[in-house]
Amino acid sequence: MFENRWRTVAIPARNEEERIENCLRSLIAPDAIRPHRIVVLVNNSTDKTRARIEALKPFFPCEILVEERHYDAAHSHAGQARHDAVSLAMTLSPAEGLIFSTDADSRVGPGWIRNTIRAFGNFQVGAVFGRALLDPNEADDIPAHLQADDDAELAYGALLERIGTILSPDAHDPWPRHSERSGASIAVTCEALAMTGGIPLIPTGEDRAFYAALRSVGVPVRHAPDVWVWVSARVVGRAAGGMAETIARRLIRQDEFLDDAFEPALDRFRRLRSRIAGNARLIRRSELPRHHRAAVRLLARLEAWERRSLELVTIDRSGIEDGALVFPPPIQPVDMFG
């Protein structure tokens, strides 16, 4: 029973004296399932992050452990800090424990731990990835055109995911699901973490690399749509390659190409049909409306095929978690481009 497992939250923190309290308090909301222990790895900080945490400890209903480290220039990056925070949390946890990780400038959403535990149990996975959403109190600081671009990317990404669930269904990660792999919302069993060797020690993209490591050793993963955190919309961040750096860059000039996760819909179709792995073609941002329309047409055809197939076959549900093979109503993407 996953709800009975020991729960530890690991948080890397660097110069977060202004935000760390909100982060920690969000973990102990009145109606929340709380962690048994919070491990904060304060690294290369020159402010009062540790002092703020120490002042909170006497008033918290769970243990807070603060570890302070100073990395040299070669190791002062997000991958090192998250690796060490998560590794320390695992060292202090029982073998069957659950390790959660978030960011020090984040606030976990309602039911973050509860919904994550439910995902572990319902889908029998070794890791759960949640979504990272811009803090609604700060989102207005982002220009409307950048928010519109983000909405368009999310809508297109949802189409690709829905196409994927039809062509290559996964009982551990059915629709609805998302495609984010953010370090701001990761949960993993100690068993799965040990299989991978921990968070990859790379300067940027350690969260995506961790997902790849999990899949490479056969760990099933759930992208839970009801698990999310609110992340800062600031433009001066703490980690190279992080969200703050991305926002700051796009404020100056929007990226010409979309992220490589957003490939053309027909490419996704061909890859999944043939089970061929390869590098995705990049999409120019100016061409996204055309690709969006193509994805909508493709999805409509696939859903029609899916409906016909379900009329012809009987699914044996024995031994399968409730709801794992239930086909939900078709996605209703925002008609952004007509």
Q: What pLDDT digit, counting tens, does each position of 179-221 carry?
A: 999 999 999 999 999 999 999 999 989 999 999 999 999 999 9
pLDDT mean across residues, the chain: 84
**Cα distance between residue 241 and residue 204, in whole Å:** 6
User: Of 173-177, 286-290, 319-323, which has the strongest mean pLDDT?
Assistant: 173-177
pLDDT exceeds 70 at position 50: yes
Q: What is the pLDDT of residues 223-274, one digit of tens each?
A: 999 999 999 876 455 565 556 566 556 655 676 666 777 888 888 888 887 7
pLDDT exceeds 70 at position 324: no
Least confident of 76-85, 152-161, 183-192, 328-337: 328-337
Pick from 158, 157, 159, 152: which is nearest to 302 by CA? 159
DSSP 284: B
Percent of the chain with pLDDT over 70: 82
**Cα distance between residue 331 and residue 164, in whole Å:** 12
pLDDT exceeds 50 at position 334: no
Tell me the three state secondary structure of residue 200: coil
pLDDT at site 103: 96
Percent of the chain with pLDDT over 90: 56
pTM of the model: 0.81
pLDDT exceeds 50 at position 137: yes
Reduced to 3 DSSP states, what percent helix, strand and coil does the chain have, rounded to the nearest 5?
40, 15, 45
C-alpha pair distances (Å), 89 with each of 48, 95, 219, 241, 260: 22, 11, 20, 25, 32
Pick from 162, 178, 174: which is nearest to 302 by CA? 162
pLDDT at site 219: 98
Instruction: Please provide the CATH number assigned to the domain covering 2-252.
Output: 3.90.550.10
Q: Taking the domains of the chain in order of start, what are their residue ranges?
A: 2-252
**Cα distance between residue 178 and residue 154, in whole Å:** 9
**Cα distance between residue 296 and residue 283, in whole Å:** 16
Provide the β-strand partners of residue 129.
186, 223
In terms of C-beta density within 10 A (0-12 exposed, 13-18 middle, 19 or more buried), how is residue 214 classed?
buried
Other C-beta atoms closer than 10 Å to the C-beta of 277 total: 6
pLDDT exceeds 50 at position 337: no
pLDDT at site 331: 36
Pairing of strands 127-134, 63-69: unpaired
CA dihedral 154, 120, 126, 109 (to 10 degrees): 50
**Cα distance between residue 317 and residue 304, in whole Å:** 22
pLDDT exceeds 90 at position 177: yes
DSSP 33-98: PPPSEEEEEEES--SSHHHHHHHHGGG-SSEEEEEEE---TTT-SHHHHHHHHHHHHHHTS-TT-E
Q: Does the N-terminal peptide bond of residue 176 adopt cis geometry, omega within 30 degrees of 0?
A: yes
